[in-house]
Amino acid sequence: MRFILSVRSLLFALVLLAISAASSAQIGFGVSIRVAPPELPVYEQPIAPGDGYIWTPGYWAYGDDDYYWVPGAWVMAPEVGYLWTPGYWGWGDNGYLFHDGYWGTQVGFYGGINYGYGYGGHGYEGGRWDNGHFFYNQSVSRVNVSINRNVYNTRVNENSGNRVSFNGGTGGVQVRATSQEEASGREHHIAPVAAQTEHVQTARANPELRASANHGKPSASAENSARPTNETARPETEASRPAAEAARPAAETNRPSPTIHAKDIQPAERPAAPNTGNAKTDKKYQQQQDKLQSQQAKDRQNLQSKQEQDHQRLPQKPANEPKQQPLEQRHQQQTQQLAQKHTQQQQQLQQRQQPASHPSAPKQSEKGKPGA
């Protein structure tokens, strides 16, 4: 009996130790990899879509027995004042383990990895929060000032020649966390938002982003195809803004109010009914569309209910005025994130349906063509 109790006590202590180590080091769940991740590739940062978007740098993830590149992306911060601490690979227990990234009010330790664009190994110098708005450092962040005028310019010394993507071990970055970074790691964190999770899944499904295919150098076209659509499409539509600036004052009164709350989100326009020539397939696609629109309507209702509860908890005016602005900013970010998520869901559903709408067999008229 004493022996059994001793074994149980030892196992319990080991479990507590493992939980403590995982929580303090932010280690992601998964297996230990014996092969080091490739060097960080050189790539160009896209233009920031707008206020409140934080740059999340690209990194090598692992899945399906291979490393794959997750391109950097602009992501709406989950809360005003929150910054992104990137994940990183670290050597330990005779293998490479991935330490998950997280959102927090301070940037914590990310292995001393020089991800570039403000992430030089410690902290983030690509921008800062000021009075509820995010200001971008133009010396390291690409910003279109016709879209976002919240900018400043502070020179940052980044060693672009260091492309090592892991900490510790042979050839890794030999840097340890500072006391401030350790303290930041113990503060309240928010896990990666839905847009980031979907971004990783999209990258994992793209064979061109696998290290075995690109030999550690993913192409620009593969990176752009894996990035969230909101960041790549938005600057192009804004390009015509300067020419229209003169006519702006007269049109301001007719401009619709900004989308701040979930009730302001317009449901996605329903695509045309599928017509593949296969009634069974068409019915399946129609059911998928119905299910997605029903789920998105439920998402909007849930967020609207939560936002209304937030308003009800505020004191009556005028006491609530100092708290009103940050609350509305948070609601606007929540609403934009949900709208972005729904747009991506609709696009992904259409992409999954697209290949099946084109028969693989060549048409009769094309059988005689060269290569048919």
The pLDDT of residue 305 is: 77
The pLDDT of residue 83 is: 97
Query: Is it the case that residue 102 has pLDDT exceeding 60?
Result: yes
The pLDDT of residue 14 is: 45
The pLDDT of residue 315 is: 64
Query: Is it the case that residue 66 has pLDDT exceeding 60?
Result: yes
**How far apart (Å, rounded) are the C-alpha atoms in residues 178 and 217?**
32
The pLDDT of residue 316 is: 54
The pLDDT of residue 100 is: 96
Query: Is it the case that residue 283 has pLDDT exceeding 50?
Result: yes
For the chain, the first-to-last Cα distance in angstroms comes to: 77
Q: Please state the domain extents for the chain.
A: 27-231, 261-311+325-350
- 209 touches 226 (CB < 8 A): yes
Confidence label for 354 from pLDDT (cuts 50, 70 and 90): low
**How far apart (Å, rounded) are the C-alpha atoms in residues 203 and 63?**
11
The pLDDT of residue 43 is: 94
For the beta carbon of residue 299, count every other beta carbon within 10 angstroms: 16
Characterize the bridge pairing of strands 88-92 and 83-85: unpaired
Rg (alpha carbons) of the chain, rounded to whole number: 24
Q: What is the mean pLDDT of residues 5-18?
A: 45
Confidence label for 323 from pLDDT (cuts 50, 70 and 90): low
The pLDDT of residue 352 is: 67
The pLDDT of residue 3 is: 44
Query: Is it the case that residue 270 has pLDDT exceeding 90?
Result: no
* Average confidence score pLDDT of the chain: 78
Tracing tokens 């803004």 back to the chain, one arrives at 241
Buried b (16+ CB within 10 A) or exposed e, 41-60: bebebbbbbbbbbbbbbbbb
The pLDDT of residue 304 is: 79
Q: 113-144 pLDDT, tens per residue?
A: 999 999 999 999 999 999 889 999 999 999 99
CA dihedral 209, 163, 49, 102 (to 10 degrees): 90
Confidence label for 230 from pLDDT (cuts 50, 70 and 90): low
Confidence label for 327 from pLDDT (cuts 50, 70 and 90): confident
Query: Is it the case that residue 313 has pLDDT exceeding 80?
Result: no
Query: Is it the case that residue 252 has pLDDT exceeding 50?
Result: no
Confidence label for 80 from pLDDT (cuts 50, 70 and 90): very high
